[in-house]
Structure 1
Amino acid sequence: MQIIKSIQNRIYEIRGERVMLDFDLASLYEVETKALNQAVKRNIKRFPDDFMFQLTSAEFEEIRLHIDASNQGTSSQIVMTGLPNLKSQIVTSSWGGTRKMPYAFTEQGVAMLSGVLKSDKAINMNIAIMRAFVDVRKILLKQSNLNEQLTEIKERIGEHDVQLNELYDAMENLIDDKIAQLKWNDRQRIGFKIKE
């Protein structure tokens, strides 16, 4: 279960997709990032754009800030998840610009990796990763269901508010009528008074 949690911490949402980055996958499969990417390039037909894409520098910077913020002050978290030094993941050219951004693999892309990386470790890790994706999906479905329930409750409360307002108005009208009737009965009579 600990490995599933560790994997879930490495699933990010980029471009509306839940993805894992190449260096995280390489770390989990216990291979070098370069070796993983070379295996993918040798089998590039298996990885269309909706299975794998390269991050832009802005996307990678956002991920890096997110990772830095979540790991700030918790060195045990860094050891547990085994995050690599993110700065070393970008190859810097002599003119100072970045040449290579990490690749992001969607759930289908990660599944396709099982056909490319055939070691026992890779197969077992791929099974764990698929389970982590399924768990994340379940969590999101539960959250979506809760949001729907909250929306339904808000609508009901709104309907009840309207009904309560109508009830309050009717009660005020009855009270106003009763007060007017009492005033009418208690009014000072004019005219002749007959003694009985």
Structure 2
Amino acid sequence: MNDNITIPDEIITSKIYLIRNLKVMIDKDLAELYSVETKQLKRQVRRNIERFPEDFMFELSEQEFENLRSHFGTSNWGGTRYTPMAFTEQGVAMLSSILNSSTAIKMNIQIIRVFTKMRAILTDTLSMKIEIEEIKKKLNNHSKNIELVFNYLDELVDKKENTVPRKKIGYKND
């Protein structure tokens, strides 16, 4: 891959998966983006494993790997012997310290920016949901208050209908 080529954010976004309630990228996809072999990426990670605690990187279980494979329908994973490594946003950032090619550094910056955009979108969506809930609560309270006003009006109308007409006093026009 040429260093001047940037990958559309949509392609990077499509390579981010939700596994164990974490947004992660798989070693195979990262290696492809960084223009390195997957085994080279894994080798570098294993040599620097102390940089990758469980919340930065984890290996998929067989079940998770099968679920991921079935997500793609036909297997495009080839004859993989080992389960893939999954990297969280922090793990992807840490990869830049062990993969020193200019392509890897530029891709890393772009990937981190995509993660940041995703987080901003989720935050905006969450705050919008909170605002909508507050509006619903206000509307619910307003409708209860309006209902209460109508109930009082109905009571007043009923009282007026049930009262005996009073004898008029004052000047009478016969």
**What range describes the TM-score normalised by the shorter chain of this pair?**
0.7 to 0.9
Task: Find the counterpart in structure 1 of residue 117 from structure 2.
Answer: 135
CA shift, 1:56, in A, is 1.3
Q: Does 1:85 align with 2:90?
A: no
User: Would you say 1:180 and 2:132 are equivalent positions?
Assistant: no
Among 153, 161, 185, the residue aligned to 2:135? 153
The structure with more helix, counted as a fraction of residues:
1
Match of 1:48 in 2: 53
The answer for the alignment partner of 1:16 in structure 2 is 21
SS of 1:185's partner is: coil
Q: Give the distance between the partners of 1:29 and 1:61, measured in 2 at CA.
A: 25
RMSD: 2.1
> Which residues of 2 match residues 153-172 of structure 1 at below 5 A?
153-172=135-154
Partner residue of 1:26? Answer: 31
Deviation at 1:42, TM superposition (A): 1.0
Q: Closer, same or farther in 2 for the Cα pair 1:138/1:67, shift >3 Å?
A: farther
Quote the Cα distance in structure 1 between the aligned partners of 2:53 and 2:124: 30
Q: Which runs of 4+ in 1 moved over 3 A?
A: 64-68
Q: Distance in 1 between matches of 2:154 and 2:103?
A: 75
Q: Structure 1 unaligned runs (5+)? A: 73-83, 92-99, 187-195
2:10 is matched with: 5
Runs of 5+ consecutive residues of structure 2 not aligned to the other structure: 1-5, 167-173
TM-score, with structure 1 as normaliser: 0.76
Q: How many equivalent pairs are there?
A: 162
**Structure 2 residue corresponding to 1:108, chosen from 90, 95, 100:** 90
**Following TM superposition, by how much is the alpha carbon of 1:89 offset from its aligned partner in structure 2, in angstroms?**
5.9
- Asked if 2 retains the 8 angstrom alpha-carbon contact of 1:3 and 1:128, the reply is no
Cα distance in 2, alignment partners of residues 89 and 116 from structure 1: 26
Q: Secondary structure at the match of 2:53?
A: coil
**By how many angstroms is 1:58 displaced?**
2.2
Q: Provide the TM-score with structure 2 as the length reference.
A: 0.85
